[in-house]
Every structure is written in structure tokens, then in C-alpha cells.
């Protein structure tokens, strides 16, 4: 016992998918993919024009 390499569940290997990164409008609920390097709050919703937030 105790001789494992520590690679059990939750190790987070190379094939692990992370959370989906989206921007969401709190006003109308529209969601769109997050653009790397651009904060969601600087993105305007294409439907209603309100600033978006990270979902």
C-alpha cells in the first residue's frame, strides 16, 4: 500500500478539459465564447448592448 505514483482521480492530465469560458449578458442572458486577452466587461452584448460578465 502507498506505493502508487499519485496519478489517481483528479490528477488533471493532458486530456483534461477545463471549464467552458464564456461571457454572458446579465440583461438578456445571451452567451458567447470568451476571447482570450479581452475582459468580458469590455465586450458589449450584440443583442442589447449591455456590458457582459464572465460566466
Give the pLDDT of the chain (55 residues) as one tens digit per residue: 666 666 655 554 455 556 779 999 999 999 999 999 999 999 999 999 999 999 9
What Cα–Cα distance (Å) separates residue 21 from each residue in 2, 3, 31, 47?
37, 37, 10, 19
pTM of whole model > 0.75? no
Rounded CA-CA distance 34/40 in Å is 7
Amino acid at each position: 500500500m502507498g506505493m502508487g505514483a499519485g496519478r489517481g482521480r483528479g490528477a488533471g492530465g493532458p486530456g483534461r478539459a477545463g471549464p467552458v469560458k464564456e461571457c454572458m449578458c446579465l440583461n438578456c442572458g445571451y452567451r458567447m465564447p470568451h476571447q482570450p486577452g479581452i475582459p468580458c466587461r469590455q465586450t458589449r452584448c450584440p443583442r442589447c448592448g449591455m456590458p457582459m460578465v464572465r460566466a
